[in-house]
Structure formats: structure tokens, C-alpha cells
Structure 1
Amino acid sequence: MLMKVLQISINQPVKYLQSGQFSAELGWKHHQMTHREDTEVIIGLSGRVFLQVSGQKYTVETGDVLVIFPWETISGYLETIKPSEFIWFHFDAGMVVLSDHNHHMVQEQTDKHIYLPRFFHLIAGEKAVISAKQLLDVAHSQYLVKSAADYATSMLLIELANNYWQQRQDISGKQNYINQIKEWIRVQMGRDLKVADIAKQFAINADYLTRIFKENTGMTVKEYMNMVKLDNAKYLLLTTSDSIQEIASQSFFEDPKYFMRLFKKKVQLTPRQYRLAYTHTFLNNQQVDPGVDIHFLVQSVENSRLPTNRDKNQR
């Protein structure tokens, strides 16, 4: 299905109409409303709201952006299942609705037009949310220059369009973003992290994080966190004479039995078998440095001596 894209003229500031930050309580549902010449933009801040635009259903979550074009009808199709918040604003400008069949139109931003798709998710969208908050402040304050809200709206639209344009320009951008998340998890492995904690750190929705992480790594967030801990455990098995229970604790596993089951499942060796298999290739640095790629170090040792069947049978 072709996605519609809004081409907005920025030869001059757009005309600001109204805006607000809406808090939807449990069970809220958007009433039906038809736009005239104005365009509305909704930016999800928290929770989840269920909106329908011209017959198409959208779920707006944290960081999602939904654009309702002129003369379109918006309504809710489900009640909210948890408290939710979003910023909304209306504006008027020289606009043309296009079908997104030609990607180069969106990629070739000019100083005359910007492009906003019907629906997209902000990547590293802190600047856009700050810009939206600034619009709310400007629009609801007394300013000597009456067009201040027009300029604030234009700046927000440029920020949103730029975020989308960067995503389209840099295909590897999402992978770079995932790498940032992976590195943060690795450095924070001593904490009892939940997916929600990671999502909050990167200002994205937890469900969205789960989906893009799986798409880009082939692992769930939980699986990656366990891999980081297991790499640390392997490192300690290779560099210390600490007991299995001590290594489980130092690798941030609360339950030693769970640690041993997981280790056997992932490595196909018990922790003791693993230690015996590489007993002559101990690494000489016993300090776990967050700046060191432990996974790479451990892989180097493992590749230097693949375990034999005899190793696997030792208890």
C-alpha cells in the first residue's frame, strides 16, 4: 500500500492554529472530527492511543508521529487500555498531498519544501519532543511578536521532517542506534535491567524497542542481556579460580542454578567443563574493564582451542 506524504511549503512560516498536550485516562476514545483546510500532527508521549484516519487504523505510542491531512476525518477505534499522553497541534500552510511512490522526493529536501509521511516513528526524537514543548510554551504565552507561534510551528515541522529524512537517507542509522543500546546494556550489566528501563533511557516505547532489537540482532533484549552476562562469566572462568557460585554472582545472576542451566543450554558445556576445556589458555587480565570487548576476548580464546569430545565428557 502506498503511503501518503505531505509536501509543506516553507517559503514563509506556516500559520499556527491551536495546540495542546492531551492526557487520556483509561477508557478514553477519540471523538470523530473532520478537518477543513488545516493539518493536525499528533506526537505520542506515553501509553497507547488507537486512532483511525480515513478508514486506516493506527496505534500511536511513545515517539510515534501521526499526520492528519486537510479534509480528513479522525476518530478513535478502541478505548485506551492505560493512561496515555500526546501532543497535538494544528496549522495551515501551502500543502500538497503526494503518494510516496517516488522515494527521491522525500530524500531530496530543499529550502522550499519539507515532507511528512502519514505515520512514522522518531529515532532519537528528543529534539523533536523539546521543540514540541517549546511550541506549547510559545503558543500559550504572551509574545510581542504575534507570529512567534507560526515560527515555532515551522521549526517543529522542520525538526520532524528532518528526523524522517535522516532515517530515509541513512539506512544504517537504525543499526547505529541499536549499537548504542547494546553498548549501554553492556556497560550497565550490573543493574537489574528491565526492557522498560532501557526503553526509558532511550526515550522509546518498550514494544518498539523489542521489535527493532529483534529485527536487527536476531535476539530478544533478554537474550542479549543474558549473552552479556554469560560472556562475563566465561571471562571469569578463564581468568580466575573463583567458584562457580561466586562467578554466577559476579556475573549478576541471582540464582546459581539458573546460571548453570542457562550456561549449559547456550554453551553446550557446564561452567566446569568450559573452564577445563580452556585451562591452558587463561587470559592474564583479571579486571573486567567496561571499555574492553569481553565477547571478542573470549571468542579469541575459544577459537584458539576448540573443545574435544573428551573435554565435554569431563565433569
Structure 2
Amino acid sequence: MSNLSFSLTQPVHYLQSGQFTAELGWRHHEMTHQQDTELIIGLSGQVHLQIGAETFHVGAGDLLTVFPFETITGAQPTVEKSSFIWCHFIQAGTWQLSSAATSDLTQISLPRFYHLNDFSQTVIAAQQLLDLAHNTAVRPLTSDYQTSLLILTLADAVHNQRIQATTHQTSINEIKEWLRINLAQHQSLQEIADQFFMNPDYLNRIFKRETGMTIAAYTNKLRLDYAKLLLLSTKDSIKTISTTAFFSDVKYFERLFKKKNHLTPNQYRQAYTHTFLNNNQVDPGVNLSDQVQHLEQQ
């Protein structure tokens, strides 16, 4: 996943910021950035955003960075009331994108998407920025420095959390959450391990020890659970459901579904026809299995 790197030897130039509350059914309008960068910090609920071909589900503790000259839009409507803080700024000097975070501590490295386990200090810095930036008695330069402090706070939080991961203190729950958020990406075991600075064989071994499944089996289970939820709550075609549940090949989806459930997708749907909800806002949440079980019992 990409990282934006730049120097903070000079403060960034603050443009605008705010805290937004999204009501049920809200969808982000399409917006193309110029040379500015945007930070989006999730506070509650979950909003669904798309940058290029990538979709991001931003919830509490999530950081999303929109790089310069990119277009952001809504991926789908919200299914719950949600809120987030946003901030636009222009970094001084040059910037670059890289696949890995920089190890040079004189450079700031902001990840495309990251979940912070403890984001209290980040929220405090963000709230201070909102207070200062909207106070007409405060000098404009103050907002530049406070935005720079927010960026430093974020970068340090990400850096420290990544260091903890190198000592293998990352919990299985964190890994599972990361896998859920990135279901659409179909990343290799090596790419997943790189996110946690771990050896891929070791990661797979401890994951199987704790969950009883390899990472590949677990991600397939998440996709199948999502497909079940769609089968029970929409009238979408099998092909559409296969694609929506992040399977690139509908034939493979049908074979895997039957192997794991002893029913074809159509047979499964027919067995629970009374549970259709006709809901076009189904979202792959944390407890997909619980949602499926609830629908099966209706």
C-alpha cells in the first residue's frame, strides 16, 4: 500500500478542515484534489470511500490519506450514522509516493490507509486544529503549525505501532481486522506479512495456531460469509454477488461455495427464501457470520 513521504523542516500550509457527521444513506460526492493532501480520521460508524480502483471502509481509529491530484468519491451509501474529521493541507517542498514507509526519521510518512489501535492523541491534536483554525482571533500561521503537529502525531503513532508489530506484539484480532478491510485487494501472503513486518511463514503459522485456519482460508471464509449475507438479503444475480463478495471468477466462487456449504449458491438461497430483505446497502461488517446466522434463523 502506498505511503506519502515529505519533509517537515518547514510547516505545511493549512487550507481547511472540519468534522463531518454522515447520516444514514450519505455518500461522498466526487472531488478531485489539486496539489493538496487530505487526511480523513474516522471517529464513529463507517463511511465507504473510493480512490481510483481502491475502496476503503473508514471507521473509528482509521486514517485515510488522499494524495495530491487524486479523485475521491463515495463507494456506497453509509448504513449507519458516522463521523470523521477531515483536513486539507499543502506540504512544503517536494513529496513522493512509495510502497513502504520511509525509515528516514527526518521525513514524514503518511500511509494510504491505517488503523490506529490508540488514536486518542490524534483526535486531541485534530480537535485542537479545528478549534484554532476556526478562531478568527488566531493568526493563520498558527493553523499551519497545528496542522504540522497533527501530521507529526499521526506519523509517530503509525511508526510506533509498526515498531510494536516488529516485536510480534500485533494481536490476531488486528490482523483479522486488516484482512477484513482489505478483502478486495487479493494480496499475497508476502504482501500481507509486509504490512506487519513479519516473516510470511511465521505469520501464517501463528495465525493458524490461533484461528485453526490459514490466512488464505480465513479470507475465503470472510468472502463466503459476505456472499451468504447477499444471497439472504438481496435478489442480486449469482454473478453479481460473486463480484460484490470479491471473487474474480464466478465458477471458482460456485465451486468453493458448494465445497464449504454442501449447497450451490442457488440452493442455499432457495433454502432461505423467506429471509429476503431487499436491502441494497448490505455492508461487510465485522460480524458477518453472526448476521448470516441471524438471517438463517428467521
TM-score by length of 1: 0.53
Task: Provide the secondary structure at the position in 2 that maps to 1:107.
Answer: coil
Give me the whole-angstrom Cα distance separating, in 2, the residues matched to 1:216 and 1:107: 31
The percentage of counterpart residues that share the same residue type is 44
Query: In structure 2, what is the equivalent of residue 59 of structure 1?
Result: 57
Task: Give per-residue Cα distances to partners, 1:183-242, cap 9 Å, x unaligned.
Answer: xxxxxxxxxxxxxxxxxxxxx9x967x999x9598269xxxxxxxxxxxxxxxxxxxxxx
Matched, 1:163 2:157: yes
Question: Match of 1:72?
Answer: 70
**Residue identity matched to 2:95:** V
Match of 2:95 in 1: 96
SS of 1:91 mapped into structure 2: strand
Q: Partner of 1:109 in structure 2? A: 105
- 1:175 is displaced (CA, Å) by 2.5
Q: How many Å apart are 1:127 and its aligned residue?
A: 0.4
Q: List runs of 5+ in structure 2 lacking aligned partners.
A: 182-195, 197-205, 213-298
Question: In structure 1, how many angstroms separate the alpha carbons of the residues matched to 2:20 and 2:168?
Answer: 29
Read off the aligned partner of 2:56 and give its amino acid letter. Y
One-letter amino acid of the structure 2 residue matched with residue 8 of structure 1: F
Structure 2 residue corresponding to 1:153, chosen from 147, 151, 154: 147
Whether the 8 Å CA contact 2:129–2:146 is kept in 1: the answer is yes
* Residues 122 and 163, structure 1, Cα contact 8 Å, conserved in 2: yes
Rounded to whole Å, the distance in 1 between the matches of 2:119 and 2:73 is 26
What's 1:32 paired with? Answer: 30
Give the 5 Å matches for 1:1-315: 3-93=1-91, 94-100=93-99, 103=100, 106-110=102-106, 113-171=107-165, 175=169, 218=210
Q: Is the 8 A contact 2:27 2:76 kept in 1?
A: yes
Gaps of 5+ in 1: 182-203, 221-315
The Cα of 1:144 is off from its aligned counterpart by 4.2
* C-alpha displacement of 1:164: 1.2
Structure of higher CA gyration radius? 1
Moved over 6 A (4+): none
Corresponding residue of 1:244 = none
**Equivalent residue of 1:160, what SS?**
helix
What do residues 73-105 of structure 1 show as CA deviations (whole Å, max 9, x unaligned)?
A: 0000100000000000000013423222xx4x5
Cα deviation, residue 167, structure 1: 2.2
Q: CA deviation at 1:45?
A: 0.3
Cα separation, 2, equivalents of 1:20 and 1:216: 43
1 CA distance for matches of 2:152 and 2:130? 16
The letter for the 2-side match of 1:218 is E
Contact 1:175 1:216 in 2 (8 A): no
- CA offset at residue 132 of structure 1? 0.7
In structure 2, what is the equivalent of residue 313 of structure 1? Answer: none
Given residue 33 of structure 2, which amino acid in structure 1 is its aligned partner?
Answer: H
1:166 maps to a residue whose letter is N
Counterpart Cα distance in 2 of 1:173 and 1:141:
43
Change (3 A) 1:64 1:144: closer
C-alpha deviations, 1:263-311, integer Å up to 9, x for none?
xxxxxxxxxxxxxxxxxxxxxxxxxxxxxxxxxxxxxxxxxxxxxxxxx
Report the Cα distance in structure 2 between the residues aligned to 1:48 and 1:144, rounded to whole angstroms: 33
